[in-house]
Chain A
Amino acid sequence: MTLCADVTVARGALTVELDVEVADGEVLAVLGPNGAGKSTLLRVLAGLLLPDGGRVAVGRAGGEHDVWDDVAAGVHVPAHERRLGMVFQDHLLFPHLSVADNVAFGLRTRGVRKAPARAAARDWLARVGLAELGDRRPGQLSGGQAQRAALARALVGEPALLLLDEPLSALDARTRLTVRAELRRHLAEYAGSTVLVTHDPVDALALAGRVVVVEEGRVVQAGTPADVSRHPRTDYVARLVGLALLPGTGDGPVVRLDGGGAVAVAEETAGPVFVAVRPESVALYLDPPHGSPRNVWPARLVSATPHGSTVRCELDGEVPLVADVTATAVAELGLTPGTPVWAAVKASEVAVYAR
C-alpha cells in the first residue's frame, strides 16, 4: 500500500511542489515551519484540496495502484471515497455524538451495520485506553483523551493511508509526552502508510522512520531522522534540531567561515562545507579560557531560555552559536542578555560535512 504523491498546488504567492513516497508500515514526517505547505500537502492527499498538477496513487495488495489524483488524466477521487484516516490538530471529534459514535462514524458511513460498528469502536477505544469513556461527549474528555479517541476514529476502518496533522501540538507538554509514546506504539502496529505533518522536530524524530523537511513549498532535505539531525542542510533545520550551522570553506584542519572567522576541526577537509556545532558542546566563560579547547570566540549573550534541565543561550558574535548550559552555571556566571562572554568548543566536537 505504498503512497506515491507528486503534486503541485498554487496557494496564493506560494507554489507547493512536493514529491513524497511512503512504503507500507513506514511513517514519513513532513517537517517544516508554518506556512511551508505541509498542511496543503496533507489536504491534497486527503482529497480535500484539488492539486493543480501531478498525481497521487496508493498501492493495493495485488501490487497495482489506485490512482486518487491525476490532474493530466482528469482523475480526482473525492475524499470520502479514499481509504484513509486523518487525525487533526484539535481532534475535531463531532461534539453532538458520543465518543463511541465518533469512532464508529467512519464504519457507519462505509456501510457497516450498527452493532458491528459499535463493537469495533469499543474495541478500538479499549486499545487507546478509553474503554470506560465511550458514552461520554467529546467535550467531557481531556485533550489527551480526545486525541486518543481521534486516533481510534482514524484507524478503526484500517485505512490504507493515515494522515496526522500536527496531532500533538494542541496538547500540554506532559500529555504530549505520554500521547507521543502511545502514538509511536500504534504506528508501529499499523500496516499502512503514515504521513505525519509537524513543526516539532521531536515528534518527527520520535515517530518517523524518514523525514522530509519542507520550506516554502519545496523539499529541502530528506533522510532518516538521525541523518537530518546530524547533517542539517539549511539554517532552519539546524536551528530546529538545535545545531548552529555555519557554511564555510575547508582548508585542511581549519574551516574558514563564510560569515568571517575560522573553526578548527578534527578532520581535514577542502572545498565548501557545513560546520555544525551542537549546543551542549559550547562552553561559556567570562574570561578567555586557557587549555585544551582549540576554538574560542568572543560573543555577547542575546537571550537565555530554560529548555528542560538546561538553559539555551543564544549568542551573537563573529560566529553565531547556541549554547546549552546548566541553570547553575547561568547563575554562577551571572549571565543576563547583553553579557559579554567567551564561547569555547573543542575541535573534536565540531561536525563538518560537505555542502
Chain B
Amino acid sequence: MRRPGGSGVPLPLLVPAAIGTLFLVLPLLGLVVRAPWSDLGARLAEPGVGQALRLSLLSATLATTASLVLGVPIAWVLARTRTRGRSVLRALVTVPLVLPPVVGGVALFLVLGRQGIVGRWLFETTGVTIPFTTLAVVIAETFVAMPFLVISVEGALRAADARFEDAAATLGADRWTTFRRVTLPLVAPGIAAGAVLCWARALGEFGATITFAGNFPGTTQTMPLAVYLALQSDPEAAIVLSLVLLVVSLATLLLLRDRWLTRSGAAA
C-alpha cells in the first residue's frame, strides 16, 4: 500500500529524472577522475590560477550587478506595462540567448570597439578604448548573462499578485515607491534566482569575452579562457582549472542558497 501523499515518485518521472541526472553528473565525474591529483597542490599554487579565478569572480559579480541594475527595470517594463512594442522588446532582450557568444563579441566590437559606432566617438573625444580591458570582460559577460536575469525576474513579476501594487497606490505610494517598497521585496526570491543564474552564466562566459575583451593574464583572462588555452598545450592543467572553477562556483551557490535564497524565500 502506498501512503496517501507519500513520497513515491511515479516511474515515468523517476526513470528520465535518473537518466537526466546521470547525464549531467557523469561529465563532472570524468573531470574528477582525470584530474592529476598527485601534483594538484603544485598546479594550484601557480600564480596564474589565482589571478584568473579572482578576475572571474570579480567580473561575474560586476556583470551580475550591472544586470540587476539594468535588467530588473527591463523585466518590470515587460511585466507591468502595456507598451505596444513590448513583445518586440522581449524578443530583442532575448537575442543574446540565441546569438552565438562569439558573434555577440563581434557585435560588441561594432558598437563599443575603437572603430564602433559609440566606441569611435568615445575614443576620439576621451582617448578611452574599451576592448582588451577588464571593463570589456564585464560588458561581454553582462551582454550574455543579463537575459537570464530578465527572463527570471519577468516571470517572478508576472507570478506576483499585482493587486498588492494597487493596495500600495491606495496607500499613497507612487509607482517608484511601490516598486521599491512592495514589488521588489515581493519578487526578491525570483530576483535572487535570476541573479544566481546570471552569475553562473557570467562565470562560465567564454565566446563573447575572448572576442571582445581578448585574452591577457591578469586583465582579461578569466577562468574559462585560461581553461580553453590550457587545453591547447596542457590538458591536465585545463582539468585542474575546470575543477577549481567548478568547486568555487558550487560552493558559492550552496552558500547563497543557505544564507540568502531561503531567507528571502521565507519572507514571501
A109 with B171, Cβ < 8 A, contacts A95-B186, A96-B186 known: yes
Q: Contact: B171 with A95, CB < 8 Å?
A: no
B170→A86 contact, CB < 8 A: yes
Find out whether the CB atom of B164 lies under 8 angstroms from the CB atom of A92. yes
Q: Are B167 and A86 in contact (CB under 8 A)?
A: yes
Set of chain B residues within 8 Å of A92, measured between Cβ atoms: 161, 163-164, 166-167
Q: Is A94 an interface residue (CB 8 A)?
A: yes
Whole-angstrom distance between the Cβ of A157 and the nearest chain B Cβ: 7
Given A78-B174, A80-B173, A109-B177; A96-B267 close (CB under 8 Å): yes
Q: Contact at A153–B174, with CB atoms within 8 Å? A: no
Q: Does A30 belong to the interface (CB within 8 Å)?
A: no
Nearest A-chain residue to B175, judged by Cβ? A80
Residue B185 lies at the interface, judged by CB distance under 8 Å to chain A = yes
Contact assessment for A79 and B267 in the assembled complex, using a CB-CB cutoff below 8 Å: no
Q: Report A142-159 residues with CB < 8 Å from chain B CB.
A: 153-154, 157
Residues in B neighbouring A95, C-beta threshold 8 A:
186, 267-268
Decide yes or no whether B6 CB sits under 8 A from chain A. no
- In the complex, whether B128 has a CB less than 8 A from a CB of chain A is no
In the complex, which residues of chain A have a beta carbon less than 8 angstroms from the beta carbon of B170?
A: 46-48, 79-80, 82, 84-86, 154, 163
Instruction: From the candidates B167, B172, B178, B188, name the one contacting A88 in the complex (CB within 8 A).
Output: B167
Q: Does B182 reach chain A (CB closer than 8 Å)?
A: yes
Q: Is the CB of A48 within 8 A of B172?
A: no
| CB <8 Å contact, B166 and A79 | yes
Residues of B with C-beta under 8 A to A84: 170
Closest Cβ of chain A to B82, distance in Å, is: 12
Asked if A110 is an interface residue, CB under 8 A from chain B, the answer is yes
Q: How many angstroms from the CA of A79 to the CA of B168 in the assembled complex?
A: 9
Cα of A163 to Cα of B166 in the assembled complex, Å: 13
* Chain A residues closer than 8 Å to B172, beta-carbon distance: 80-81, 106, 109-110, 157
B185/A79 in contact, CB under 8 A: no
- Nearest to A110 among chain B residues (CB) is B172
Q: Closest approach, in angstroms, between the C-beta of A135 and any C-beta of chain B?
A: 15
State whether the Cβ of B169 lies closer than 8 Å to any Cβ in chain A: yes
- The smallest beta-carbon distance between A11 and chain B, in angstroms, is 16
Q: Chain A CB within 10 Å — which of B161, B164, B170, B185 has the most?
A: B170
Bound-state Cα–Cα, A95 to B185, Å? 9
- Do the beta carbons of A105 and B169 come within 8 Å of each other? no
- With A and B bound together, what is the CA distance between A153 and B185 in angstroms? 19
- CA A109 to CA B176, docked complex, whole Å: 11
CB nearest to B167 among chain A residues: A92
Question: In the complex, A84→B167 CA distance in Å?
Answer: 11
Docked pose: A85 CA to B186 CA in angstroms: 22
* Complex Cα spacing A95 to B266, Å: 10
A88 to B167, CA, bound (A): 8
The smallest C-beta distance from B80 to any residue of chain A, in angstroms, reads 14
Chain A nearest CB, measured from B187 CB (Å):
10
Residues on B with C-beta less than 8 A from A88 are 163, 166-167
Pick from A43, A94, A109: contact of B164, CB under 8 Å: A94
Contacts A95-B186, A95-B267, A95-B268 given: A78-B169 contact, CB under 8 Å?
Answer: yes
Select one of B169, B171, B181, B182 contacting A153, CB under 8 A. Answer: B171
Decide: A47 and B169 in contact? CB cutoff 8 A.
yes
| Contact assessment for B163 and A105 in the assembled complex, using a CB-CB cutoff below 8 Å | no
Task: Pick from A47, A82, A105, A157: contact of B168, CB below 8 A.
Answer: A105
Per-residue CB proximity of B134-169 to A under 8 Å, as 1/0?
Answer: 000000000000000000000000000101101111
Expressed in whole angstroms, the Cα–Cα distance for A88 and B173 within the complex equals: 17
Closest to A163 in B: B170
Chain B, 176-200, CB within 8 A of any chain A CB: 177-178, 181-182, 185-186, 188
Given A95-B267, A96-B185, A109-B177, CB of A79 within 8 Å of CB of B169: yes
Q: How far, in angstroms, from A21 to B22 measured CA to CA in the complex?
A: 69
A153 cross-chain contacts in B, Cβ below 8 A? 171
In the bound complex, residues from chain A placing their C-beta under 8 Å from that of B171 are 80, 85, 105-106, 109, 153, 157
CB neighbours (8 Å) of A109 from chain B are 168, 171-174, 177, 181
Q: What separation, in Å, do the CA atoms of A82 and B172 have in the docked complex?
A: 7
Complex Cα–Cα for A220 and B204 (A): 66
Q: How far is the CB of A81 from chain B (nearest CB, A)?
A: 8
Q: Which residue of B lies closest to A86 (CB)?
A: B170
**Residue from A48, A85, A96, A154 having most chain B Cβ neighbours under 10 A:** A96
Chain A residues closer than 8 Å to B181, beta-carbon distance: 105, 109
**Which B residues are in CB contact (< 8 Å) with A85?**
170-171
Q: How far is the CA of A263 from the CA of B167 in the complex (A)?
A: 52
User: Do residues B167 and A80 form an inter-chain contact, with CB atoms below 8 A?
Assistant: no
Say yes or no: A94 contacts B182, CB within 8 Å. yes
Partner of B169, one of A48, A97, A154, A163: A48
Distance, CA A244 to CA B182, complexed state (A): 48
List the B residue with the shortest CB-CB distance to A153: B171
In A92-108, which residues have CB < 8 Å from any B CB? 92, 94-97, 105-106
What string of 1s and 0s marks CB contacts (under 8 Å) between A34-55 and chain B? 0000000001001110000000
- CB-nearest residue of chain B relative to A157? B172
Not counting A92-B163, A109-B171, a sample of 10 additional A-B residue pairs whose C-beta atoms are within 8 angstroms of each other reads: A46-B170, A48-B170, A80-B171, A92-B166, A94-B168, A97-B185, A105-B181, A109-B168, A153-B171, A154-B170
A-B contacts, 9 listed (Cβ < 8 Å): A47-B170, A48-B170, A80-B172, A86-B167, A92-B167, A109-B168, A153-B171, A154-B170, A157-B171
Instruction: Please give me the 8 A-B residue pairs with the lowest Cβ-Cβ distance, nearest first.
Output: A106-B171, A79-B169, A86-B170, A96-B185, A109-B172, A92-B167, A109-B173, A110-B172
